[in-house]
């Protein structure tokens, strides 16, 4: 019961090492073109997989509210850009819908 600290340190280590190792291995190295290209696509493919299908269950009590809030963020940022307004707006839309 009280030995969480060892568990926590173990979890911290296996989380930190994969976050750190690539910087030590890759920084300042010339990488092959194909590998660079592969790495350059990771931001967008990571976002795609982080959003789908997670967003559908982001508000477990009301998936419809989640979709409406998310839809607002998509439409707003498509036409107007920005981050803060669409993010706050998505919360407001989801909240209004679920409290209807």
Partner 1 sequence: MYQRRQSFHCIREGVLAGFPIIIGYLPIAMTFGILAKTAGLSARDAFCFSAFVFAGSSQFMALSLLSIGSGAGEVILTTLLVNFRHFLMSASLATKLEKNIKRWIPFIAFGITDEAFSIVSFRQKDVTKEFILTVEIMGYISWVGGTLLGYLAGGILPPAVQESMGVAIYAMFVTLLIPEAKKSLKIGLLACLSGMVNAILNNVDILSQSWNLILSIVFSSAIGAYLFAEKEVHSYE
Residues of span 37-96 touching partner 1 by CB under 8 A: 37-55, 58-62, 65-66, 69-70, 72-74, 76-78, 81-84, 86-92, 94-95
**Helices 42-51/33-40 angle, 10° precision:** 30
Torsion 15-21-26-32 (CA) sign: negative
Q: How far is the CB of 58 from partner 1 (least distance, A)?
A: 4
Map residue 64 onto helix, strand or coil: helix
Is 100 one of the binding residues for partner 1 (CB under 8 A)? no
CB 50, min distance to partner 1, A: 6
5 scored as a contact of partner 1 (CB under 8 A): yes
Query: From CA 61, how far away is CA 71, in angstroms rounded?
Result: 18
């Amino acid at each position: 019961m009280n030995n969480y600290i060892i568990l926590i340190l173990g979890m911290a280590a296996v989380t930190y090492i994969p976050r750190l190792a690539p910087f030590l291995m890759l920084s300042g190295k010339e990488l092959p073109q194909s590998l660079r290209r592969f790495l350059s696509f990771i931001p967008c493919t990571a976002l795609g997989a982080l959003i789908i299908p997670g967003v559908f269950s982001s508000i477990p009590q009301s998936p419809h509210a989640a979709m409406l809030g998310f839809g607002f963020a998509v439409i707003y940022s498509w036409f107007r850009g920005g981050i803060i307004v669409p993010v706050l707006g998505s919360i407001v839309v989801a909240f209004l819908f679920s409290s209807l």
